[in-house]
């Protein structure tokens, strides 16, 4: 089960330099299946009605990746706190 957390400000100036974003999510997954489910949930939760219409209308095309709503950025790390 995924729990939503309120965003917290960076703990140090070093984290501020990393471009902290208040609308980011940190989710801990203990195995590949939970990681796949969390990424799918997170990506799909961001789609607007217009995004869903675009996805239903157009097949994936690498040449359109700059405008396709299916493209998003994720950072994945293993163990402990990210460096």
Residue 5 confidence (pLDDT): 52
Residue 17 confidence (pLDDT): 43
15-19, 50-54, 56-60, 79-83: range with lowest mean pLDDT: 15-19
> Coil, helix or strand for 57?
helix
Mean pLDDT of the chain: 75
Better-predicted residue by pLDDT, 50 or 39: 50
Is residue 16 within a helix (H) or strand (E), and if so which, with residue range?
A: helix 13-17
How many C-beta atoms lie closer than 10 Å to residue 77's C-beta?
8
Residue 4 confidence (pLDDT): 53
CA pair distance 34, 27, nearest whole angstrom: 10
CA pair distance 46, 7, nearest whole angstrom: 17
Residue labelled with tokens 């157009």:
58
């Amino acid at each position: 089960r995924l729990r939503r957390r309120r965003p917290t400000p960076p703990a140090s100036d070093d984290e501020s330099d990393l471009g902290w974003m208040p609308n980011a999510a940190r989710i801990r997954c203990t195995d590949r299946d939970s990681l796949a489910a969390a990424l799918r949930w997170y990506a799909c939760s961001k789609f607007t009605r217009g995004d869903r219409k675009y996805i239903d209308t157009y097949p994936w095309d690498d040449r359109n990746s700059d405008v396709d709503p299916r493209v998003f950025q994720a950072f994945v790390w293993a163990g402990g706190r990210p460096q």
